[in-house]
Amino acid sequence: MTEKKVVLFLALVLVLGWSLLAPGAAKSSEDEKGIPVIIQSFASKELRAGDNWKVYLKASDPEGKMRYIFATISQPGVGTYPVSITKINGENQRELSGYVYLNTMPIKTNQFFNLTLTLTVNIKDSKGQFSKPAVFPLTFEAKAEQEAPPDGVFKEQSLGPIMITLRTVSGTRRR
C-alpha cells in the first residue's frame, strides 16, 4: 500500500509540475516573438576625448512597440553611470536605423588617455520587454579618428543623445 501511495504521489507531482511548466514555456516563446531585436550595431572602438561618439543601431520589433533606447556606461574607477533613456519617435517604433551619440566633452588634461569605457545598449518596448544588449568598448586615444560605419547598413540619422556626463577618476566632471 505504501508503494502505491509513493507512485501516486510522484505521478501527481509530475502532472502538476508539467501543467505549471508547459504554459510558462509556451508563453515565454510567444513573448520572445514580440521582443525588440538589435539586428546590427557598430561603434568606433577608439576616439579622441572631446569628440561625439556615434553608436549606430539597426533594430526591429514586429509589433511596432519599441519605445526607448537604454544606455549605461561602465568606467574603471567610477563604476556604472545612471541609465540614459532616449525616447524612440513614432516613425521608428517598428524599425529603426541611425545612431545615438555621446558627447565626451573636451577635456584639458590627459586623464582619459588610454581609458576604456564600456557602453551597453538595450531597446525597451511598450510591454516592458528588453532586447538583448549590444556592448561597445571605447578607448580614448590622443590621435584616434572615429571609424565610419559600414556603407549602406545604417541611416545617417540621429536617434538622440546618450545623456551621460563622463567624469575623471578623481570624480570631477569635465564640461
What is the chain's pLDDT, residue by residue, as a tens digit (175 residues)?
Answer: 556 554 444 444 333 343 333 343 333 344 457 899 999 999 999 999 889 999 999 999 989 999 999 999 999 888 999 999 999 988 889 999 999 999 987 555 567 777 889 999 999 999 999 999 999 999 998 889 999 999 999 999 999 999 999 887 764 454 4
Question: What pLDDT shows up at residue 4?
Answer: 55
Dihedral Cα 99, 102, 103, 106, nearest 10 deg: -120
Interatomic CA distance for residues 3 and 72, integer angstroms? 57
Interatomic CA distance for residues 154 and 147, integer angstroms? 14
Task: Please give the span between the terminal C-alpha atoms of the chain, in angstroms, as a whole number.
Answer: 80
Nearest Cα residue to 154 out of 82, 75, 101: 101
* Run of H or E residues at 4: helix 2-33
DSSP state, residue 108: S
